[in-house]
Structures are given as C-alpha cells and as structure tokens.
Amino acid sequence: MRKQIVFASLVAVLALLASACGSNEESSATTPAATGATTAGNACAKDQLTLKTAGQLTIATDNPAFPPWFQNAKGGPWNPTKEPTKKGYEAAVAYAVAEGLGFTDDEVKWVVVPFNNLFKPGPTDFDFDINQVSYSSKRDQAVDFSDSYYDVEQAVVVQKSSKFAQATSVADLKDAKLGAQIGTTSYDAILNTIQPNDQPNVYNTNDDAVNALKNGTIDGIVVDYPTSLYVTAVQAPNATAVGRLPSEGEEHFGLVFEEGNPLRDCVDTVIAKLRSDGTLDEFAQQWIEGSAPPVLK
C-alpha cells in the first residue's frame, strides 16, 4: 500500500513537471517580443490600415512624372490622370509597397499633387506621395517621411558647348547662372554648396528649368543624378552632367505621409524588406542606368 502511495505521488509530481514544461513552451511563443510582432502584424493587416478610402491605396505624384522615375508605354513622361504605369523606379517601388501591404494593382489609385503643395500641414487626399522628395528636418515638421527608398546625389547639368562643361570643382561654377525647381533640395544645393555669385533662377517645374537651359537663359541646372540621365538623354541631348555635388550628409528620398499617419510604420516595414531582399537594388539596376559623373571637388 505504501509503495502504491509513493508511486502515485511520483506520477503526480511528474505530471506537474510535464505541465510546467508545457506551460513554458507555450509562454515562449507569447513572449513580449512575440506579442509585439503579432500586434504589429495585426495593425498592418490590410483591413486594419488607416486609409483615405477603405480597401484602396491612394498614391500621389506630380504631373507629368518623368523617367527614370515613371514612364509611359512609349518611354516618355507619364500622366497619372491617364492609365496607370509600373514602368520606372518610383512606379516599381510604389507597386511593390502596395503589394507588401496586401493590395492588388487594381486597388491602387493615383492622384496628382504638385511638388510644392506637399509640405502644407493638415489633411491630405492621399495615403502617401512618391515624388523624389528628399527628407529634411524642416519638411518633417509639416509631414511624415518613410525610411529611405533611394539615396540621392545632386548633379549639375550644363550645355556641352558651355565654358562650364569643363568644370572639375564647385569653385569653377561660381560665375554660372544656375536654376532649379522651386522648393527642392536641388535649389538648396545651389545656395548652400555652390554658392554662386548670381542668385539662382527658380522654376515651377524641372521642365521649365530644362527649357531655360536649352534656350540659354541659364548656364546650368541642378537636379538629382537619376533625373540628370533623362535630361541629358532625352530632354536636352546637347547637355551633359558635368559632375555630382559633394554632400555633407546622406540625402535620401522618402515617401510622404500626412503628419501622424500610422500607415507610415507599416510602409517602413515593407521598405525594410524590399531593401534587405535586394528588390530596391534590382529596381535601381533596371531603371537607373549610366555611369555617374565625378564628384566635384
């Protein structure tokens, strides 16, 4: 009888230990880290996203939108008010982000927002904007930015026949009459990096700046390097990118969100995956081609 009692007690102890082990195994799947991941996953589920229109991802950009960022079926500038496009670096990024959030191509809607209208505080009619918008602390006071989807360099474009076409340093451009689109970091780069003797001209669009370059109103324009490829290949084939501007810190493009939009955190998760799995590099190889000019001293 005593043996039976001892045996029964032993079985009870073993059962209790087994139960405790099982409890530990279950708790390991619900640690704070795991719980956080589950919560984040639910918050970024398609039906939980904060959107302007339920079940639809509304993306904004400018019109026209130029290669290599966007292009139409014929390879030229794209009009967002017409048929959608997946051609171009930013187009590819936008649809990859949409897919990462759970949207099909048909659930993506494009709207037009001029570049300089992006930095007005308050409600927007888009979920995010993608339009070669460089992060700055000043802009970040009015809107929210995603993490970088493209790291940026600025380039100086001049006519091949210009005396400034042989420039090898920033100092060589001091006497140049330069121009850039209003509200861009390209314009800031003229003021802060080149510091020309003449006040630079400001244009509503890059298109206007390129036309000024072509008709001789200005000696050169400053644009981001990938845009300079399209300018010199298509818009102004008699022009050349004389060099890239040195940068004190990393400049990068981010998607733009209404201030405080929680969608930004979900998009950052998608961008991190696109960067880590090499997708962003693949897009860059496909859409942003050419040998970069030297950095001006």
Using one digit for the tens of pLDDT, what is the confidence trace for 202-221? 999 999 999 999 999 999 99
Residues 183, 133, single domain; the answer is no
**DSSP line for 119-143:** T--S--SSSEE-SS-B--TTGGGTE
Using one digit for the tens of pLDDT, what is the confidence trace for 269-296? 999 999 999 999 999 999 997 778 899 9
Q: Considering the domain boundaries, does residue 24 fall inside one? A: no
- pLDDT classification of 229: cutoffs 50, 70, 90: very high
More confident residue, 97 or 33: 97
Residue range 25-37: mean pLDDT, rounded = 31
Residues 117, 262, single domain; the answer is yes
Q: CA-to-CA distance for 67 and 72, rounded, in angstroms?
A: 9
Residues 88, 57, single domain; the answer is yes
Q: Considering the domain boundaries, does residue 180 fall inside one? A: yes
Q: How many folded domains does the chain comprise?
A: 2
Residues 135, 262, single domain; the answer is yes
What was the pLDDT predicted at 248?
A: 64
Domain encompassing residue 188: 154-244
Is the pLDDT score of 35 beyond 80? no
Q: Considering the domain boundaries, does residue 63 fall inside one? A: yes
Q: Considering the domain boundaries, does residue 36 fall inside one? A: no
Q: Considering the domain boundaries, does residue 294 fall inside one? A: no
Using one digit for the tens of pLDDT, what is the confidence trace for 230-250? 999 999 999 999 999 998 667
Q: Considering the domain boundaries, does residue 182 fall inside one? A: yes
Q: CA-to-CA distance for 121 and 138, rounded, in angstroms?
A: 12
Is the pLDDT score of 4 beyond 60? no
Residues 136, 67, single domain; the answer is yes
Using one digit for the tens of pLDDT, what is the confidence trace for 104-162? 999 999 999 999 899 988 999 999 999 999 999 999 999 999 999 999 999 999 999 99
Residues 73, 206, single domain; the answer is no
What was the pLDDT predicted at 42?
A: 79
What was the pLDDT predicted at 23?
A: 37
Q: Which of 253, 258, 279 is nearest to 58 (CA)?
A: 258
Residues 189, 259, single domain; the answer is no
Residues 217, 264, single domain; the answer is no
Residues 147, 257, single domain; the answer is yes
Q: Considering the domain boundaries, does residue 264 fall inside one? A: yes
Residues 138, 170, single domain; the answer is no
Is the pLDDT score of 40 beyond 80? no
Q: CA-to-CA distance for 281 and 188, rounded, in angstroms?
A: 27
H or E, element range at 111: strand 108-112
What was the pLDDT predicted at 9?
A: 40
Residue range 168-177: mean pLDDT, rounded = 98
Q: CA-to-CA distance for 290 and 297, rounded, in angstroms?
A: 21
Residues 52, 145, single domain; the answer is yes
Is the pLDDT score of 10 beyond 60? no
Q: Considering the domain boundaries, does residue 7 fall inside one? A: no
What was the pLDDT predicted at 249?
A: 65
DSSP symbol at 168: -
What was the pLDDT predicted at 290?
A: 73
CATH number of the domain within which 162 lies:
3.40.190.10
* Token representation of residue 78: 């794209």
Return the percentage of the chain with pLDDT > 70, whole number. Answer: 86
Residues 145, 160, single domain; the answer is no
Is residue 95 within 8 A of residue 86, CB to CB? The reply is yes
